[in-house]
């Protein structure tokens, strides 16, 4: 009987269930340092297979496709794994669109969509969950658009849910297959196909969403750093070992943004990357993301302030120089060389250390590595001063002598072209006879060593000299042509006035006796005379004929690059670039040439993939020339591109509603062209010395013009591309800065209309970050003449976050500029616009955080008066924001040191707020501030209180007196009326 009763009782939980429960408890205890309210960062990534292990642990037996083992048999796991009702999966259905709900419900819908996107699908079987995968993809696209067009600060709940969703999707088990040391086996890396993640259709959108979220001015850094914490950053760095180059590129951009936005994480990021390098150099020599890490560090090193800290010099000696010794150096040498050169340019005294380091790791039997070392050595020597050169010249030239005697022809072939131009110019026109004689001796030695190479170098030198002369002549002709165009335009602009004067003159002439003439001069108004529409007609004819020519070109499918031999790939690549020069009309007739448009789109995708996976061979000059020509044909020569320029930017209140007409209809092609240009510029296979002939000042100028596009997607690409060009082409840097200055001057002083000001300022923020100390006068002038006046425009909300970052960078670099900046803000302080006033107060607090006591004392009197006005504001948010200044420890400390001057100025406003402000929150904050001031200096506080009461009493007495005077005047007037 007992046996029967016991058999009917519920069974005890199994050991597996017990371990599963204990595993979850362990995850909650070791969740990366989060509190229970924010433990999502680890629990959202824990697998539901009963093992209780983090998805981030790199196990060897990971499932194919690179996804977590948490995927269920049905192909996906529940969106809310931590509370999914006992493991029962909820139906996966699409949610309403953001356009279909009112603004009050958008935030809740945003969170629901984020939860929906936490479901991770299995892409190893493409036939599984097709409908659900498409729903998630569409939802991710909606989320990207929402983040991109957000018009208010993200709440803490929204930030938390974004990080949870991103973590659930990207943090997974990687099974990397490192590219190891294949270069020594002389394998052709171009033939090796990188391992592409099957889940990329979703992953790409998740990365895009996270990038927009981090870069958004609506993401509060102080809130976000609670969730994008050190644990999150560490797992992000682990993902750089992904085999998929697309993923590493996204990670690189995101990490760069996190480094720029979260200053608190900067030391940790540098330290963690260092640790990865140490492991790579001294242990594994296997990692897929070394090139990407070095590219990020190139930007970081560019921003190091002078004099360099000891920790940065140690990083050069212990990390960057030893990175030359792994066998797979070829995979990341271009980025490593850039980092090394940055150090030498910042501190020329490091040249000796770097050169001796290169000599220490100089390859003995690997000739291809030796050629790389020689190329890097040339760049280092360009930045080396005589004292440093003299310290290392003996061992250096011993090594160069060994290279000259090398059996490998390329070593000599590298050295002689480097020094030949200098030798030839010395031999032709050096003023010193001794130098001239020695040069002739050296030339003779080289000629005897390798006559053919010497002959080739001489021919190349003469060709370069000839090209330089042609370029100079061409430049002069271009300037002349530009002047002619300006003259014609000025005539066209003045033509209505000239025409009216001509008609009047004709009427006068008509009254005079006619003189016989054989020439017809604009008779009856139907002549060859230019009219107002003539320029437009010509433009239409030109663009029409251009379009007809393009449409008549044969747009046929070319063979795939994978299907031809290596020797034919370059020629086929050039053909594909020429095919992509055809520009189609997407605006007037979108249904026209559908087949040809699709062929071009597929071809563009193929050339982008070719650039990404082009191995380690440098692009030859014809490829760079054709690539630039194709990009120019699509971006600059497109007649329909003009309509997207010079439109009035939307008002600050209308940013959330994106007008459909502002999106470029030709974006399906343009996006891939921009992607191609970005890859070409960033590729280590693109030789900057060759490229600068084609990506020249004219190209850069046209690129900057495109920033006025109404399409935010286009501006985002342009921003990234310009940043890469600025970093790669040092020769263009002064020109880019000067041109951007001119555009900003035009915006401030004339038009007040430009769509790309926020993007320009974001690029300038990175440039300012790299300014060396002490700051040059031209940089200080840029601050006072451009950045500070940018505050006065009505459309300030469109770019204030980026502008504020630029201004604060200056103050952080040179605290003496704080006085100039604060007085500039006070000059342009808004009078009637409360939303702008709040922005000014936010920026002011950040500036004051970087302000020293001496600079604060120079501007504290006018500043205190302005703050007092803000405290007295009837708009409660302005008063509230001004009161929050006392919550900042540094600001409060500055005020405390100058209490005797500041307190009498702000006290009346504080006292009135505490007694009579209509908003209770402002009243409460005021009482807190008054208490702090009273505790700091009771005697001064009492003195100010007495003074305030006296003034109030005097004001009341004056009011009564004035009232009595008016009453008496009224009585006198009344008596006189009788």
- Of the listed ranges 129-133, 259-263, 441-445, 582-586, the one predicted with least confidence: 441-445
- Contact between residue 65 and residue 122 where contact means Cβ atoms under 8 Å apart: yes
- Contact between residue 353 and residue 318 where contact means Cβ atoms under 8 Å apart: no
- Contact between residue 66 and residue 174 where contact means Cβ atoms under 8 Å apart: yes
- Of the listed ranges 55-59, 593-597, 846-850, the one predicted with least confidence: 55-59
Both tokens assigned to 947: 């003074």
Q: What percent of the chain has pLDDT over 90?
A: 17
Q: Which of the given ranges, 200-209, 424-433, 635-644, has the highest pLDDT on average? A: 200-209
Name 76's bridge partners.
121
CA-CA-CA-CA torsion sign (214, 216, 222, 224)? negative
| Diameter of the chain measured on Cα atoms | 139
Please say if the pLDDT value at position 184 is more than 70: no
| Terminal Cα-to-Cα distance of the chain (whole angstroms) | 121
- Of the listed ranges 348-357, 395-404, 859-868, the one predicted with least confidence: 395-404
Q: How far is CA 208 from CA 145, 196, 540, 716, 957, in A?
A: 10, 18, 39, 12, 66
Predicted confidence band of residue 844 (pLDDT cuts 50, 70, 90):
very high
The residues near 785 (Cβ < 8 Å, ≥ 6 apart) are 745
Mean pLDDT of 518-544: 35
Q: What is the pLDDT of residue 235?
A: 92
Q: Which of the given ranges, 79-93, 436-450, 630-644, 934-948, has the highest pLDDT on average? A: 934-948
The pLDDT tens digits of the residues spanning 886-925 come to 888 888 888 888 888 888 998 888 888 877 778 888 888 8
Query: 849, 839, 753: which is closest to 793 by C-alpha?
Result: 753
Q: What is the pLDDT of residue 978?
A: 66
- Of the listed ranges 236-245, 502-511, 599-608, the one predicted with least confidence: 502-511
Both tokens assigned to 798: 């469109």
DSSP string, 443-490: HHHHHHH-HHHHHHHHHHHHHHHHHHHHHHHHHHHHHHHHHHHHHHHH
User: Residue written as tokens 């008066």?
Assistant: 865
Predicted confidence band of residue 321 (pLDDT cuts 50, 70, 90):
very high
The pLDDT tens digits of the residues spanning 620-642 come to 899 999 999 999 999 986 544 44
Q: What is the pLDDT of residue 553?
A: 47
Predicted confidence band of residue 147 (pLDDT cuts 50, 70, 90):
confident
The pLDDT tens digits of the residues spanning 241-281 come to 988 888 998 999 999 989 988 888 999 999 999 899 988 98
The pLDDT tens digits of the residues spanning 534-577 come to 333 333 333 333 433 444 445 678 888 888 888 888 888 899 89
- Of the listed ranges 196-205, 222-231, 423-432, 748-757, the one predicted with least confidence: 423-432
Q: What is the 3-state secondary structure (H, E, C) of 566-585?
A: HHHHHHHHHHHHHHCCCCCC
Q: Which residue has the higher pLDDT, 174 or 113?
A: 113
Please say if the pLDDT value at position 514 is more than 50: no
- Contact between residue 702 and residue 641 where contact means Cβ atoms under 8 Å apart: no
The residues near 470 (Cβ < 8 Å, ≥ 6 apart) are none
Query: What whole-number distance in Å separates Cα of residue 243 and Cα of residue 507?
Result: 80
- Contact between residue 407 and residue 369 where contact means Cβ atoms under 8 Å apart: no
Predicted confidence band of residue 411 (pLDDT cuts 50, 70, 90):
low
Please say if the pLDDT value at position 508 is more than 60: no
How many C-beta neighbours within 10 Å does residue 398 have? 10
Q: What is the pLDDT of residue 525?
A: 36
DSSP state, residue 872: T
CA-CA-CA-CA torsion sign (113, 119, 124, 130)? negative
Please say if the pLDDT value at position 750 is more than 90: no
Query: What whole-number distance in Å separates Cα of residue 706 and Cα of residue 646?
Result: 10
Average pLDDT across the chain, whole number: 77
Q: Peptide bond preceding 832: is omega within 30 degrees of 0, i.e. cis?
A: no
Region for residue 752 given its phi and psi (left: phi exceeds 0; alpha: psi -120 to 50; beta: otherwise): left
68 burial type by CB count under 10 A (0-12 exposed, 13-18 middle, 19+ buried) = buried
DSSP alpha helix (H) spans, 361-432: 367-382, 386-404, 409-429
Please say if the pLDDT value at position 678 is more than 70: yes
Predicted confidence band of residue 434 (pLDDT cuts 50, 70, 90):
low
Q: What is the pLDDT of residue 519?
A: 36
Please say if the pLDDT value at position 652 is more than 80: no
**Chain center to CA of 233:** 19
Q: What is the pLDDT of residue 408?
A: 54
Q: What is the pLDDT of residue 6?
A: 41
Please say if the pLDDT value at position 25 is more than 80: no
Q: Which residue has the higher pLDDT, 440 or 282?
A: 282
500 burial type by CB count under 10 A (0-12 exposed, 13-18 middle, 19+ buried) = exposed
Mean pLDDT of 704-727: 90
Q: What is the pLDDT of residue 911?
A: 85
Q: Which residue has the higher pLDDT, 409 or 965?
A: 965
Both tokens assigned to 875: 């708009």
- Of the listed ranges 88-92, 336-340, 495-499, 922-926, the one predicted with least confidence: 88-92
Give pTM, 2 decimals.
0.49
Q: What is the pLDDT of residue 18?
A: 41
Mean pLDDT of 467-474: 77
| Backbone torsions φ then ψ of 121, nearest 5 degrees | -95, 160
Q: What percent of the chain has pLDDT over 70?
A: 74
Please say if the pLDDT value at position 412 is more than 70: no
CA-based R_g, the chain, Å: 35
The pLDDT tens digits of the residues spanning 766-825 come to 889 888 888 889 899 999 999 999 999 889 999 999 999 999 999 998 889 999 999 999
Q: What is the pLDDT of residue 193?
A: 59
Query: What whole-number distance in Å separates Cα of residue 969 and Cα of residue 71?
Result: 91
Please say if the pLDDT value at position 89 is more than 50: no
């Amino acid at each position: 009987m007992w046996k029967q009763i016991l058999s009917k009782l519920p069974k005890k939980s199994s050991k597996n269930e017990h371990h599963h429960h204990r595993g979850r408890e362990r995850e909650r205890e070791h969740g990366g340092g989060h509190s229970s309210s924010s433990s999502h960062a680890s629990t959202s990534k824990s697998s539901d297979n009963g093992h209780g292990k983090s998805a981030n642990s790199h196990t060897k037996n990971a499932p194919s496709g690179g996804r977590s083992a948490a995927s269920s048999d049905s192909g996906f796991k529940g969106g809310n794994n931590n509370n999914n009702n006992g493991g029962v999966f909820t139906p996966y259905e699409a949610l309403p669109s953001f356009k279909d709900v009112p603004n009050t419900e958008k935030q809740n819908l945003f969170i629901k969509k984020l939860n929906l996107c936490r479901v991770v699908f299995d892409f190893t079987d493409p036939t599984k969950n097709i409908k659900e995968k498409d729903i998630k993809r569409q939802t991710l696209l909606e989320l990207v658009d929402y983040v991109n067009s957000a018009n208010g600060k993200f709440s803490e709940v929204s930030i938390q849910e974004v990080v949870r969703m991103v973590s659930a999707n990207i943090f997974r088990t990687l099974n990397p297959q490192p590219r190891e040391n294949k270069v020594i086996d002389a394998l052709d890396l171009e033939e090796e196909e990188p391992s592409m993640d099957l889940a990329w259709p979703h992953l790409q959108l998740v990365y895009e969403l996270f990038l927009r979220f981090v870069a958004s001015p609506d993401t509060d850094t102080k809130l976000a750093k609670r969730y994008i914490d050190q644990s999150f950053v560490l797992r992000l760095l682990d993902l750089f070992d992904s085999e998929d180059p697309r993923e590493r590129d996204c990670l690189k951009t995101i990490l760069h943004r996190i480094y720029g936005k979260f200053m608190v994480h900067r030391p940790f990021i540098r330290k963690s990357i260092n640790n990865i390098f140490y492991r790579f150099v001294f242990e594994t020599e296997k990692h897929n993301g070394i090139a990407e890490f070095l590219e990020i560090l190139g930007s970081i090193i560019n921003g190091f302030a002078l004099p360099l800290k000891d920790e940065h010099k140690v990083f050069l000696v212990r990390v960057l120089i030893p990175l030359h010794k792994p066998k797979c150096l070829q995979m990341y040498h271009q980025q490593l060389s850039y980092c090394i050169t940055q150090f030498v340019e910042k501190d020329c005294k490091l040249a000796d250390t770097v050169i001796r380091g290169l000599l220490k790791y100089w390859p003995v039997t690997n000739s291809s590595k030796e050629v790389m070392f020689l190329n890097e050595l040339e760049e280092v020597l360009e930045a080396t001063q005589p004292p440093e050169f003299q310290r290392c010249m003996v061992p250096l030239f011993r090594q160069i002598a060994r290279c000259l005697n090398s059996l490998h022809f390329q070593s000599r072939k590298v050295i002689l072209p480097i020094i030949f131009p200098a030798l030839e110019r010395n031999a032709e026109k050096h003023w010193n006879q001794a130098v001239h004689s020695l040069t002739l001796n050296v030339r003779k030695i080289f000629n005897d060593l390798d006559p053919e190479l010497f002959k080739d170098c001489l021919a190349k030198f003469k060709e370069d000299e000839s090209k330089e002369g042609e370029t100079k002549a061409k430049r002069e002709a271009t300037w002349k042509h530009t002047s002619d165009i300006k003259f014609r335009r000025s005539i066209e602009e003045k033509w209505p006035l000239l025409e009216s004067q001509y008609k009047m003159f004709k009427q006068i002439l008509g009254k005079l006796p006619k003189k016989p003439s054989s020439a017809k001069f604009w008779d009856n108004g139907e002549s060859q005379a230019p009219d107002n529409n003539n320029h437009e007609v010509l433009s239409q004819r030109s663009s029409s004929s251009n379009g007809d020519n393009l449409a008549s070109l044969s747009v046929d499918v070319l063979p795939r690059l994978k299907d031809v031999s290596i020797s034919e790939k370059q020629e086929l690549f050039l053909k594909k670039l020429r095919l992509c020069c055809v520009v189609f009309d997407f605006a007037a007739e979108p249904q026209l040439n559908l087949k040809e448009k699709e062929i071009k789109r597929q071809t563009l995708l193929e050339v982008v993939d070719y650039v990404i996976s082009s191995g380690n061979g440098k692009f030859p000059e014809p490829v760079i020339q054709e690539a630039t020509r194709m990009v120019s044909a699509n971006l600059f020569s497109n007649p329909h591109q003009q309509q997207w320029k010079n439109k009035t930017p939307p008002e600050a209140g209308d940013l959330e509603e994106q007008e459909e007409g502002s999106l470029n209809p030709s974006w399906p092609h343009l996006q891939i062209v921009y992607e191609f240009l970005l890859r070409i510029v960033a590729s280590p296979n693109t030789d900057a010395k060759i490229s600068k002939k084609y990506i020249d000042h004219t190209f850069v100028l046209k690129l900057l013009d495109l920033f006025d596009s109404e399409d935010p997607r286009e501006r985002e690409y342009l921003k990234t591309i310009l940043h890469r060009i600025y970093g790669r082409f040092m020769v263009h840097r002064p020109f880019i800065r000067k041109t951007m200055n001119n555009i900003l001057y035009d915006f401030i002083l004339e038009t007040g209309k430009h769509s790309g000001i926020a993007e320009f300022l974001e690029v300038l923020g990175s440039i300012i970050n790299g300014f060396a100390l002490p700051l040059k006068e031209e940089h200080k002038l840029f601050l006072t003449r451009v950045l500070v006046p940018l505050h006065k425009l009505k459309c300030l909300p469109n770019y204030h976050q980026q502008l504020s970052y630029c201004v604060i960078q200056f103050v952080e670099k040179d605290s003496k500029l704080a006085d100039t900046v604060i007085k500039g803000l006070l000059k342009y302080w808004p009078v009637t616009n409360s939303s702008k006033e709040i922005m000014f107060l936010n920026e002011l607090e950040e500036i004051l955080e970087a302000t020293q006591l001496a600079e604060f004392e120079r501007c504290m009197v006018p500043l205190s008066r302005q703050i007092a006005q803000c405290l007295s504001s009837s708009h409660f948010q302005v008063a509230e924001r001004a009161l929050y200044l006392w919550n900042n420890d540094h600001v409060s400390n500055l005020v405390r040191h100058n209490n005797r001057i500041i307190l009498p100025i702000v006290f009346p406003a504080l006292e009135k707020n505490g007694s009579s402000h209509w908003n209770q929150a402002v009243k409460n904050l005021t009482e807190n501030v008054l208490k702090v001031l009273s505790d700091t200096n009771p005697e001064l506080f009492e003195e100010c209180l007495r003074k305030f009461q006296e003034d109030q009493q005097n004001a009341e007495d004056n009011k009564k007196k004035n009232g009595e005077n008016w009453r008496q005047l009224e009585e006198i007037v009344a008596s006189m009326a009788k």
